[in-house]
Structure 1
Amino acid sequence: MVTVEDDFVSLWPPDLVVGGGGYLLDLRARERSPNGHVQVRRERSVLVASTPAGLVGYCVVEYTFFEQGFVTMLMVAEPARGHGVGERLLRAAAASCQTAKLFTSTNLSNHPMQRLLQRVGWRSVGMVHGLDEGDPEVFYLRTLPSTESAE
Structure 2
Amino acid sequence: MRRRLAPAALVIAGALALAGCGGSASDSGSGSGKAELSVGSAYMPQPVSDEMAAGFFTVTNKGGAADELTSVTSDVAGQVTVHETTGGAMQEVKALKVPAHGELVLKSGGNHLMFEQLKRKPKEGQTVSVELHFAHSGPVKVEMPVKSATYNPKTGH
TM range (shorter): under 0.3
Give the TM-score normalised by structure 1: 0.27
| Structure with greater contact order relative to length (CA < 8 Å, sep ≥ 6) | 2
Rg (Cα) greater in structure: 2
Which structure has the highest helix share of the two? Answer: 1
Which structure has the highest strand share of the two? Answer: 2
